Amino acid sequence: MDRTTAQRLIFTMLDADGDGTVSKDEYLARTRNAASATGREEDDPLVATARTLGERAWASMDANSDGKLTFDEYAAWAGAAAFDTVCAPVLGALFDLADTDLDGTLDLPEFTALRTALNNPAHNAEAAFAALDADGDGRVDRDDYIASIRAHVVGESSPMGEALYSGVAV
């Protein structure tokens, strides 16, 4: 999958209401949704960390501070450097929210809860999980999860990304 297609898929996921822009509330809802899906309260330290990192990510993406992000703005911002410095910490914090047993890995129910909370289609979660669970132990490790998303974002081969977005229109 090429980088532009990957970016469009991610943008479509972020644009929860489908209006062609991502609002600050839509972006920050990711943390609220993940917390809710895992039964964590707003004052949970993991929620606070994810919220703070999400706000920093939003400020980085919304360069003109107008409270909305168009696809063109997102595409100009997104890439390896932005992923490494901004996205990876946010995704790690969201992963930590979903890791309800705090073992540093996600099982299929935790993974599905996270990906659904982040507005990915639930019906593709099992295939995406299987693509990440290379050793078949029923667990996905944090570093592998983030590396797979990074590969997808920068347009490299990402079996998880391809499985997550299979059948999704852009």
pLDDT tens digit sequence for 5-17: 888 888 988 999 9
> Can you give the residue ranges of every domain in the chain?
3-164
Instruction: Domain 3-164: give its CATH code.
Output: 1.10.238.10
Q: What is residue 124's predicted lDDT score, i.e. its pLDDT?
A: 81
Other beta carbons within 10 angstroms of residue 113's beta carbon come to: 22
Q: What is residue 127's predicted lDDT score, i.e. its pLDDT?
A: 84
Pairing, β 68-70 against β 21-23 = antiparallel
**What is the rounded distance in angstroms from the CA atom of residue 170 to the CA atom of residue 168?**
7
Q: What is residue 163's predicted lDDT score, i.e. its pLDDT?
A: 66
Q: What is the DSSP secondary structure assignment for residue 104, as one 8-state letter? A: S
Q: Which amino acid is at 5?
A: T
Q: Per-residue pLDDT for 155 more than 90?
A: no
The mean pLDDT value for 125-145 works out to: 88
Q: Per-residue pLDDT for 48 more than 70?
A: yes
> How does residue 63 score in pLDDT terms, banded at 50, 70 and 90?
confident
> How does residue 24 score in pLDDT terms, banded at 50, 70 and 90?
very high
Q: What is residue 110's predicted lDDT score, i.e. its pLDDT?
A: 94
The mean pLDDT value for 152-156 works out to: 78
> How does residue 115 score in pLDDT terms, banded at 50, 70 and 90?
confident
Beta-bridged to residue 106, according to DSSP, are 140
Beta-bridged to residue 99, according to DSSP, are none
The mean pLDDT value for 24-43 works out to: 93
**What is the rounded distance in angstroms from the CA atom of residue 118 to the CA atom of residue 110?**
12
Residue that is written with structure tokens 């999400």 in the block: 54
> How does residue 140 score in pLDDT terms, banded at 50, 70 and 90?
very high
**What is the rounded distance in angstroms from the CA atom of residue 82 to the CA atom of residue 37?**
27
Q: What is residue 41's predicted lDDT score, i.e. its pLDDT?
A: 93
The mean pLDDT value for 113-128 works out to: 85
> Mean pLDDT for the chain?
88
**What is the rounded distance in angstroms from the CA atom of residue 61 to the CA atom of residue 146?**
19
